[in-house]
Structures are given as C-alpha cells and as structure tokens.
Structure 1
Amino acid sequence: MGTGSTRRGVRRVVAATALGLLLTGTAAAPAVSAETIRQEQWYLDRMQAENMWKTSTGRGVTVAVIDTGVDGTNPDLIGRVLPGKNYATDQPGDEHTDYDGHGTGMAGLIAATGANGGGRGSFGLAPGAKILPIRLPESGKGANLIEGNKVFNGALAPAIRYATDHGAKVINISQAAREDTPEVAEAVKYALKKGSLIFAGVGNDAEQGNLLMYPAATPGVVGVAAVGKNLHRTDFSQYGPQVDMAAPGEDMVHACGGKTGLCETSGTSDATALASASAALIWSVHPTWTNNQVLRVMLNTIGGPTDGAKRNDAIGYGIVRPRIALQNPGDPGPADVYPLPDLAEAQQSASPAPTPSAKESEPAKAVAATKGDDGTPWLGIGLGVGALGVIGVAAAVVVRKRRTTAPPTPQPQQHPTPQQGFGPPPVMPGSIPPPPGRDSGTF
C-alpha cells in the first residue's frame, strides 16, 4: 500500500500507486539463478519453513484473500483455490480472473505448493491451506477521494461477511483506504464474533506521509508491518499505534499473476500474507482453538522488541514466529477474549470515531484505541512486482498513478539514540523519522 511512494532497493526500484494497487516495478538484476525458485525464497529459510511443515502445512484451514482475484490455474496454486465471490462487476471474468496479479501473489505467498516445473516452483508458508478468492472492484477508477473510498469500503464490508460465512478462519486484506466506515467496522465485529481472524497491511508510505490506513487501523483487525532481511522495519513500512505485528516483506519471490506466474515484490501486502499463513499453520494443529486463542499464541510467541518495551510503533509486539508457536504454544488463554486492546476500547468509547493512541499495554489488557480518520481512496499494499522468467527477472514497466491530494506534512519526532547494532535505519533528508525503539526480532 502507499500513496505514491518510491523505495530504492539494492536490485531494483519499485514504485507505489496513489489510487489502486502497488504492483509493478523494475528488476535491475536476475533474481532466480538457483536450481529452484524455492532457493530464492529467503524468508522461508529464515522462518525454517521445512521444519514447520513436518508439523503443519495449514491443512484444513481456509484463508480468504480479499483482493483483485486469484488465478487458480497458476501452476503453484492448482488445487488450492476454492470457488469464491466476485464484487468487481466493473471487470471481466470472475473471482478467478485476477485483473491485476496482486491477489494471486498474496495467495502464492500463503498457499503455493511448489508444483511449477515439476516441483521446482515457489512455495507459500502454508502450502496445505485452501484459498477463498474474493475479488474487489478497482477503486482507482473513482472520480475523487470520496468516490474511491466509497467503492472500496462498499465492497469490503460484504466481502468480509462473505468470507466469514463461507468458512474462512483467516481473512487476508492486503489493501487499504484512508478512512473507515461503520459498515466495515460492523463487518469486522461480525467476523470476530463468528470466529475468524482478520489481518491487514498497514501501508507502504512511511516516507511520504505515514498516514493512518484502514482496515489495518479498524478495531479488531491485526495490523501488519514489514521487516527486511535484517529483521528491521523496512523504510517504506508505515508505523504507528495501528501496528500489531510484523513479518518479512522485502524482496519476496513467489507465485503471482502474469505471463510467467512468478514475481518479486516488496510491501506490507507480502508481510500480511505471511501473518495470515502463520495463523493457518497454528490453527491446523489446534483446530478446536478459537480465533482469540490462535491470535494470543501468535502474540505470546512473537519475536518482540528488544529495547525493553512491550511493543513499539515499528513492529508492534514483534515479528511473527509460527515455528515457536508450533513447538511450544503455551497457554492459549480464554476462548472468548480478544487479546489486543483496541477492540474493547472502541466498544467502550462513546465516540463514533475514536482517535489514534499508542498501544503501550499488554495485548490482553484493553486500554488503548488505535483508530483515526483522514480520507483518501484505497490502495493495494504490494510495493512492486517484477515478473520472473525461468532463469531471471524480466523487467516490468514502472507504474505510478497520479496522487489526487498531497498528504499533510508530518511533524518531526524526537527519538532516543538506538543501541548499537539495532534500532531503525538512519533518517535520510526529507524522510519521516522512524519510531523509537529497536525494530528487530528473531525467527
């Protein structure tokens, strides 16, 4: 997600969009030189995926991907994609027709099986999970900010309800808008009451406004930030009280839509997909647990901030570690208590639009709201996509949709000096200062 931000990477430059999805970028050097695509998926190595798959592959868990559609004919997704729902009546085809490629990419990060090329393809973190595709309209066609938000939120609320009613334990939303609606907030409550978990990316515009994005900031939604290979918050990943956890989201090689069926992307979209897949891995082993218990175990086994704080605005309570949750989950706690503080605070508040405030308490204590309101149309969260050929990455056209309004200039923040070897990356001239505390973790 983003509002037109650009991130400079080692191997390529990726561009975000203003209205719509952040999907295309350029590849400056080949990404796949190894014998298999799996060998390029660094994040699966760091998360020790093969060891986890001995215990769980996510089998028996359905993950809804609310996005641009999911192409079930992708070789790495054959047999993983269920019939779903199409809300994008402005586009040809149905929920299995990905008009952008983004939704297929999220599904690939979650449930790809590596079947491409006779077993030489890409894997998702939970290759045994099933994908419920729910296609939203391309909101970038909205004439203005109000219309763009209306298009997105008008489809998102029923999409969440559909996912819940059709067996999705986990709901992945790698898209966002700059305002919430009562209908979306009620749909989130409905999903939680029915037993689902919702994960959403916090956005990719940390350097270009860092505005609050929804539904990541909606009460009851788990907001996911991105970390890079160094396990620090990426420079593009937005930060603030809406961040509940983080996952890898930089230089991610995975199955996606497009001619080659393989992409390399960076963004909080990708991180959200891994958080969703992590929940699927845990739920598969503990099918009798409630959504609250699965989330509580994720939070209790997370690789948290190492600066002594319970959480920080960079990575929330920490980097998701399903490996630890599978090895030693501990006490899942009460079945009927949502473990993050924002939902109970929002329910207690007399204000219809709670203002954002930092989450400084333990996850189980409901003392802090995380909501705000600003207002622009929805944005997809994948920062950039370069199509991968069999032996390399084919350069893609960089697309940047024109920003409709400029974000307000953020005020500088004062932060303590980080300890040596940790902490946020240095602040470049004109960029937004990163939040305090060490934003690293371990898998």
Structure 2
Amino acid sequence: MSRSIARPVLAGLAASILTAPAVPINAADAAPRTAPTCATPLAPVQPVAALPWTQQRYDPARLAPLATGAGVTVAVVDSGVDRVHPQLAGQVLAGTDLLDPGGDGSRDCAGHGTGVASIIAAQPRPGVAFHGLAPGARILPVRVSEQQVVQGRESGRTVSAADFARAIRWAVDHDADVVNLSVVLYADDPTVHAAVAYAVERDVVLVAAAGNLHDSGDPRPFPAAYDGVLGVGAIGADGVRAGFSQTGPYVDLVAPGSEVLTAAPGQGHQRVEGTSYAAPFVAATAALLRQYRPELTAAQVARRIIATADPAPGPGHGYGAGVLNPYRAVTETGPGQPAGPRTVAALADDRADAAQLARDARRAAARHRALLVGAVVGTTAVAVVLLALVLPRGARRRWRPADPV
C-alpha cells in the first residue's frame, strides 16, 4: 500500500503460526468454533497451553480481586472480532461492519481484531494459561479492514479515512468507555481528527498504536499523534523497545508488542508482533481503571496510566513515560500527572496553575492595600472637614480643652 494514500493500516506484523500440542477440546464445543466465512480463509492454528511472557509480566490474577473490567465496554476498531472463539464467547457485543455493510463486526478475515480483543478480554479456560488483562470487559467490534501482512506488505481491503472516522463516532455513540485503535493512518485527515475530538469531548479513553515503520523514518502516525489519544509503542520480553516500534513525541508509553500470544479466529492461538498488540494492554488497563475508579474522567484515567508507568530501560522518545504497569495504575493514588516527555494536550489538567495562583494572590493583595489606603485617606479627609467646621464655632463659644488632672 502506498503511504500517500490516507487509508487505515493495521499496525500488526506477520503472525507466527503455532503448532504446539493441542489442548483437548470437547466435541460438543468444537462445532461453533469455525472462523466466519472469508474469501481467503485463515489457516487453522492450535490452542497453546504454555504461560506467555506477557502474563508473567502482567499477572491478571493479581489484579482480579481489584478489577476485571466488569461493566466497561471497550470498542475494538479493527478487522472484526470472532465471537465464537472459546475464550471470547459471551464477551463480544453486536457491533457493526463498515467494510461490508450489514454485518455485526464478528467476521474477522485477518485475525488481527480477534487477537487484539483477546489481549483485553479473553476468558480463562481449563488447560490454557493465556487470558486477557481485563476479562470482565465487554468488546464492541467495529470492522474496518481485512488486511493481512503477506511477505512484509499489507494486502487486503480497508475503509476510507472518512469511514474510519465514522467508525470512531459509531463506537462513541454506542456507549464505548474505551476505544482501541490498533490502526494507523500516515496522513492527517480532518474527518478523523474531528472524530477524535468528538470522542474526547464525550469522556472516552482513546488508545492507539504508534506504528511499525521505525526503519522507514518514523512517519507521523494518526490517530496516535492527535491530542487526547494515548500513543503506544512496543517492547519485547527483555523490556527493550522493539526494533520496528516507532519513536517520536506521539509515544506516550510502551507495552508488550513482540512475540505476544493472542487468540486466533476459530479455537487456537498465535504469536504476533506489532504496536497493534501493545495498544490493547493499555486499553485493558483503562478498562480496569474505569471499573475500579468510576469517578475518574477519561483524561484522569489517561494521566494515571502515564504517571504510573515504570521507568524505561533506554533513553529517547521511543518509550514515552515508560513501560505500562497495570497494577500500579489501579492501586496507586495521587494526581496522576504525566511523567514522560510529552503531555497529552487535550487531556485537561485538573491542577491549578502555580503561576496563575501567584498572579491572583498578588492582585488580591494589591486590591487590599488600595482599599486600606483609600479608607485611611477618606477618614483623614472627613476629620479635616469636621475640624474646619467645629473649631471656629468652639472658639466663638469660648470652648477650651479640659486641663489634664
């Protein structure tokens, strides 16, 4: 795809097809698990029982007593979400399909959106260690693409920028509390910009992938670069920025995005990489916060996530404020101000400005002094007038001050 065309690009790289031994599946459960019909069906993959590194880093069991994302709706604007995958069954709402009108968002011909959704809300299953960071959250699928990466190049249909903007608005209008945008536009489109502003005004947390074109000069990614959007870069298991992950002031923080285990359409799992898969870790954390601290605004949720990030292992704009820490985001108290090199300008800061407070104090003091001086001058003038009137009369009547005793 030409980078000059302003169409959304799924920010995921090639997936690794897994051939690990299958987890036993009941025959009664197997029938409804086939992937939705697609022009080019995805190759079937096997379930994986092993504990993924991301789950060792972010232990959902540690968070579960505090929050699971229950009652929170996370919109996944992506390639669709397979609602019959055993770990997503019952968690996926009826969404919409802007690529093939008439659908409900459950058709996923790329596997991308299903993987993103599983990082957020996959349910625990016997014999499978992997599950989502916010397994109580509801997923609202908005299908905008069926792209796949073939030999390093995107292939497949995707909507226009105008329809991508419509997807964001649709998610907001259908009660999304958080919107995950693992999609990148390499052009600043006014309709998308306006849709982002629409979401921000309606108190929705927006999370977007920072893009995978570091080796191509880090072209500016949208919507991650817009004010009010949390831009997310990718790290590997060693905590170091993934080589493909873009760097720039639009990166607010980083999360796992290399060799990430996700659910695949059907019944299995696959390992994937890309900033696409880092973003949903942040979106899931936002869901946990929106449940645990429902009084927080979207702006405050975003600031808290940034402020509680762990220190980055390297310098520069590639890490933003640091590495996502969901447990700290949920449990730590404080104002939650940004700790990284970039503040999110559209996220209103609820702290009073110190300089403005000082100016107000100085003006108040000046007004007080002016009133005090005015009162003294006024009192003196009145006294002088009274003396000028009274003393001559006293002299005519031979008044004298009393002699001291």
TM-score, normalisation: structure 2? 0.70
Equivalent of 2:327 in 296, 319, 323: 323
Equivalent in the alignment of 1:343 = 345
* 2:345 match: secondary structure: helix
Equivalent in the alignment of 1:236 = 244
Instruction: Please state if 1:84 is matched with 2:86.
Output: no
How far did 1:283 drift? 1.4
Match of 1:287, as an amino acid? P
Equivalent of 2:293 in 254, 277, 286: 286
Instruction: Please state if 1:103 is matched with 2:113.
Output: yes
Give distance in 2, aligned partners of 1:365 and 1:313: 28
* 1:343 match: secondary structure: coil
Contact 2:70 2:291 in 1 (8 A): yes
Give distance in 2, aligned partners of 1:38 and 1:321: 25
* 1:134 match: secondary structure: strand
Equivalent of 2:180 in 172, 178, 182: 172
Give distance in 2, aligned partners of 1:139 and 1:260: 21
Bigger shift: 93-102 or 57-66? Answer: 93-102
How far did 1:332 drift? 4.9
Contact 2:60 2:132 in 1 (8 A): no
* Inter-CA distance 2–313: structure 2 relative to 1 (3 Å threshold): farther
How far did 1:33 drift? 9.2
Give distance in 1, aligned partners of 2:280 and 2:274: 10
Match of 1:274, as an amino acid? F
CA deviations over 1:318-353 (Å, ceiling 9, x no partner):
1111101222232357xxxxx9635359x9xxxxxx
Instruction: Please state if 1:227 is matched with 2:235.
Output: yes
Give distance in 1, aligned partners of 2:333 and 2:22: 37
How far did 1:216 drift? 1.1
Give distance in 2, aligned partners of 1:243 and 1:157: 21
Instruction: Please state if 1:254 is matched with 2:262.
Output: yes
Match of 2:120, as an amino acid? I
Equivalent in the alignment of 1:123 = 131
Match of 1:96, as an amino acid? S
Give distance in 2, aligned partners of 1:190 and 1:198: 11
RMSD (Å), alpha carbons = 3.5
Give distance in 2, aligned partners of 1:203 and 1:21: 6
How far did 1:78 drift? 0.5
How far did 1:363 drift? 12
Contact 1:137 1:152 in 2 (8 A): no
Please list every run of 5 or more consecutive structure 1 residues that lacks an aligned counterpart in the other structure.
4-17, 141-147, 334-338, 348-361, 367-443
Give distance in 1, aligned partners of 2:169 and 2:19: 41
Contact 1:282 1:325 in 2 (8 A): yes
Q: Percent identity?
A: 36
* Inter-CA distance 210–60: structure 2 relative to 1 (3 Å threshold): same
* 1:40 match: secondary structure: coil
Equivalent residue runs for 1:14-53 within 5 Å: 22=12, 24-27=14-17, 37=48, 39-53=50-64
Give distance in 2, aligned partners of 1:363 and 1:243: 22
Contact 2:253 2:322 in 1 (8 A): yes
* Inter-CA distance 365–270: structure 2 relative to 1 (3 Å threshold): farther
Equivalent in the alignment of 1:434 = none
TM-score, normalisation: structure 1? 0.64
Equivalent in the alignment of 1:64 = 75
* 1:120 match: secondary structure: coil
* Inter-CA distance 110–324: structure 2 relative to 1 (3 Å threshold): same
Instruction: Please state if 1:75 is matched with 2:86.
Output: yes
Give distance in 2, aligned partners of 1:87 and 1:256: 21
Query: Which structure carries more relative contact order (alpha carbon 8 Å, separation 6+)?
Result: 1
Give distance in 1, aligned partners of 2:351 and 2:183: 27
Give distance in 2, aligned partners of 1:290 and 1:223: 18
Aligned residues: 318
Instruction: Please state if 1:191 is matched with 2:199.
Output: yes
CA deviations over 1:165-195 (Å, ceiling 9, x no partner):
1111110010111102111111111111111
How far did 1:297 drift? 1.2
Equivalent in the alignment of 1:301 = 308
Give distance in 1, aligned partners of 2:352 and 2:229: 16
* 1:207 match: secondary structure: helix
Match of 2:181, as an amino acid? I
Contact 1:106 1:256 in 2 (8 A): no
Give distance in 1, aligned partners of 2:231 and 2:49: 27
Equivalent of 1:267 in 274, 287, 305: 274
How far did 1:255 drift? 1.0
